[in-house]
Amino acid sequence: MAATVLADNLVSQIPVAFTNAEGAAVPTPTGGAAPTVTLDDTAAGSVAIAADGESVVFTPTQPPVDGTAVNITATYSYSDGSTVVVAGAFQVGTAAVVPPPSPMNAGITGVFNEALITTSPLP
């Protein structure tokens, strides 16, 4: 399946959704360390956990390199030290396709909610 394409000329805010083993929505994990996010190709842009704590912000490098594949990984933790890792494959460009969901951890999964990606002008 093709990766979701993130706009090459806008900041993309990617919501994260969490579900339990039965598929029911659950709150964002809290109580542990602050969530973290990494990007495997920093030449393509930068990522950060949004102020709401429930989404990831991707800012493409300018000028962009369209077609660059990037993997974004966010880690959320609980007070007992357990974690939920949310991983997604994206591509820098101009069109959108939905990627597969991320792996499970302790019955809780997280996926980037591509249907709710918002954009804003570059700084």
State how far the Cα of 83 lies from the Cα of 70, in Å rounded to an integer.
Answer: 22
pLDDT for res 102: 42
Residue 59: which CATH number?
Answer: 2.60.40
- 3-class DSSP assignment, residue 106: coil
Which residue segment(s) compose the domain that 109 sits in? 4-118
123, part of any domain: no
Q: What is the pLDDT of residues 28-80, one digit of tens each?
A: 998 999 999 999 999 999 999 999 999 999 999 999 888 899 999 999 999 99
| pLDDT at residue 14 is higher than 50 | yes
pLDDT mean across residues, the chain: 84
Range name among 45-49, 74-78, 93-97, 108-112 with the lowest pLDDT average: 93-97
> 3-state DSSP: the chain helix, strand, coil percent, rounded to 5?
0, 50, 45
pTM: 0.77
104, part of any domain: yes
Domains of the chain: total = 1
74, part of any domain: yes
State how far the Cα of 36 lies from the Cα of 38, in Å rounded to an integer.
Answer: 7
62, part of any domain: yes
| pLDDT at residue 106 is higher than 60 | no
Cβ atoms of residues 121 and 13 within 8 Å: no
| pLDDT at residue 98 is higher than 90 | no
